[in-house]
Structure formats: structure tokens, C-alpha cells
Amino acid sequence: MAKDVSSQSDISKMKTQPDGSFKRADSSFRNFIEPGGKFEAEKGRYHLYVSYACPWATRTLIVRKLKGLEELIPVSVVSPRMGAHGWPFASVDAFPDSDVDPLYKAEHVKDLYLKADPDYSGRFTVPILWDKKHHTIVNNESSEIIRIFNTAFNDLVSAEKAKLHFYPDHLKAEIDELNDWIYPNINNGVYRSGFATTQEAYGKAVVEVFDALEKLEKILDGKDYLVGGQLTEADIRLWVTIIRFDPVYVGHFKCNFKTIRGGYPAIHRWMKQLYWNNDAFKSSTNFDHIKTHYYWSHKSINPTQIVPLGPKPHVEPL
Ligand SMILES: N[C@@H](CCC(=O)N[C@@H](CS)C(=O)NCC(=O)O)C(=O)O
């Protein structure tokens, strides 16, 4: 009989900490692609599994496009309706714009994890960077997958794309410093607010989200990018959360002190400029997948699974 992994796959069985706060587990597969290593850069060897709904996965989609890796690293998109078995492929849930697994005909993302490691005991998350040669997961941590995409395939892309660097040496310290507070307070802060199961844990998390947004508003005032006057991974990492804020986090995760469009003009302008002026951002964003995922999949937060129709529009014009 197949092993029961429902406590790992079913988000409704996910436990919070004893004080009701949500703590995200660390990712388990943490390899890099490098010359002479187990995983070397090759055309067609790697495959990216993502959900359009997931902010972490969307970071990888954006960098894949920016770096011109579409031909080298094909992508498959899961259905946004995450149920008892976790993320399904289109073979079992044919949601528009989702794919079947072209490599193994897996029905769920969990099948890939258990193929890579039958004893895997973590959550079955996206994104996954998959190696077709060793039939395993190279890396399932988005912050590392974007660093891999940033440099590992530079010999295989055009000189113009190779030149693009989203974590350049001279800006590393500043980017690291931003990531250090943006990740816990904003990227993961909205989840800590939404997944909290006590009033106290929610109250603490939501205040931290908005304190961080106030700080960010000052940093972005009069600027097009967070650091160094150029697009860096700090922008990409933050943007995927901000674009979901008004459509999802304000309502579903109760982050409702202010909206981005109503309360943060500098953050709003920065977000809209990237969306409307850079196709890597817009084409990686699918609001149908985003809204359906959160409102449909988190039944403990939204038992009716009704997906709201607003806000209208999802993104305001520039
Ligand atoms: N640290 C991971 C987090 C990825 C993650 O939590 N993805 C969520 C979707 S937004 C997921 O797949 N969750 C499935 C689950 O927990 O069952 C990363 O940044 O890559």
C-alpha cells in the first residue's frame, strides 16, 4: 500500500506553532548548477515546475524570461486548485493554462518529490528545478533558483542576456540587507498574518507587514528600483508579493490596514511600471490562477471557496 503522506500534502492539515503563529519550513533540495559539479549547465537537461499562483515560483518564471532561458529550460504549470494531494497537474485537474507533466505523467507535484526521494518528509512545494539526467530535484528554493538562473547558463545564452546580472558584486551588501527584512516582514509576513490561528499571532504579524510597507514606501519614493538605479533580485523578490497584495492578501490574509493602490503611491508606481513596461513581469502573472489558488485551496480560511471578482482592475493603468 502506498505510504500515507496526507499530512505533508494537505494544507488543511498543516499545523501552526503552539502560540498560533505560522513558521515556514526550510527547503530541502539545495544544489547548485556549476561546472565540474553533479549538475552542470546543459541545454534541455533541466525542467522547471511552477504554479502561476505561487509568489516564490513566479520569481523563477520572471528571471527565466529576463535571462532568455525559455528554450533551455522548459516549464510546466500546475493547476491552481491545491487539494488533499497537493498541487495537481492538468491530467487530474484541467484548469485553463495548466499543463500535464511531460516527463513522467505525474498526477501531483508530490509524485515528483517521492520519485526524487521516497523518504522525503517535507511539504510538496513549487517551484522545483528538476534534473532529467539524474531524475531528481536540483533545488526547490526560489531564492537559490533565481541565483542559478542569474549566472549558471551564461555560456548558453546570448551575450546580451549573459550580461544581465541581478545580484551584482557591487550591490550585494545592499541587496542582502533589504532581503533580510523584506522576506520575514513582507514576503513571508503576509503568510504569517493569513495563516495565524490566534488573534495575538495575527495581530503581531499584520503590524509587522504594514510597518515594513511604510519603510519601503520611503525607500521607493522617487525611485524606479530598490537598489543602485537598476533592476535587481531585490525588486523581483519583492514584486511578486506586492502584485498579489490588493487582489489576495488584503482580503484573504487580512492584511487590510491599507491597499497598495490607495495607501502607498511610490510602491504602487514601482509595481505598475514593472508590470506594464517589462513583459517578463506581466507575462508571468496570471490573476485567475493567483486568486483561485488562495481562495479555493485554503478552506480553513475560506470554507465557501468563493473567489472574489475584484479588485477591478487587478492592476491599474500607469
Ligand atoms: N521556500 C520556498 C517556498 C515555496 C512554497 O512554500 N510554495 C508554496 C506555494 S506559494 C507551496 O508549494 N506550498 C505547498 C504546500 O505547502 O503544501 C521557496 O521560496 O521556493
**With 80 as the cut, is the pLDDT of residue 1 above it?**
no
Mean residue pLDDT of the chain comes to: 96
Q: What is the pLDDT of residues 11-51, one digit of tens each?
A: 888 888 999 999 988 888 999 999 999 999 999 999 999 99
Mean pLDDT of 58-82: 98
Pocket test for ligand 1, best of 27, 54, 125, 241 (most atoms within 8 A of CB): 125
Q: What is the pLDDT of residues 106-160, one digit of tens each?
A: 999 999 999 999 999 999 999 999 999 999 999 999 999 999 999 999 999 999 9
Q: What is the whole-number distance in angstroms between the Cα of residue 141 and the centre of ligand 1?
A: 9
| Element spanning 48, H or E | strand 46-50
Dist. CA 220–CA 182, nearest whole Å: 13
**With 80 as the cut, is the pLDDT of residue 166 above it?**
yes
Q: Is the C-beta atom of 194 inside 6 A of ligand 1?
A: no
- Residue 28 has a pLDDT of 86
Q: Is the C-beta atom of 85 inside 6 A of ligand 1?
A: no
Q: What is the pLDDT of residues 252-281, one digit of tens each?
A: 999 999 999 999 999 999 999 999 999 999
Nearest residue (CA) to ligand 1, atom 8: 125
Q: DSSP assignment of 126-152, as one string?
A: S-EEEETTTTEEEE--HHHHHHHHHHT
Residue 85 makes CB contacts below 8 A (sequence gap 6+) with 6, 9, 10, 107, 108, 110
- Residue 15 has a pLDDT of 86
Dist. CA 79–CA 88, nearest whole Å: 6
Please say if 54 is a catalytic residue.
yes
Q: What is the pLDDT of residues 221-263, one digit of tens each?
A: 999 999 999 999 999 999 999 999 999 999 999 999 999 999 9
**286 close to 50: Cβ distance less than 8 angstroms:** no
> Of 41, 53, 54, 72, which is the active-site residue?
54
Mean pLDDT of 290-306: 97
**With 90 as the cut, is the pLDDT of residue 3 above it?**
no
Using CA atoms of 238, 295, 60, 125 in order, give the dihedral in degrees to the nearest 10.
Answer: 120
Q: Is the C-beta atom of 205 inside 6 A of ligand 1?
A: no
Q: Is the C-beta atom of 54 inside 6 A of ligand 1?
A: yes
Q: Is the C-beta atom of 60 inside 6 A of ligand 1?
A: no
Q: Minimal CA–CA distance to 239: which of 55, 115, 71?
A: 55
Q: What is the whole-number distance in angstroms between the Cα of residue 25 and the centre of ligand 1?
A: 9
Pocket test for ligand 1, best of 30, 126, 141 (most atoms within 8 A of CB): 126
- Residue 108 has a pLDDT of 98
Q: Is the C-beta atom of 142 inside 6 A of ligand 1?
A: yes
**108 close to 124: Cβ distance less than 8 angstroms:** yes
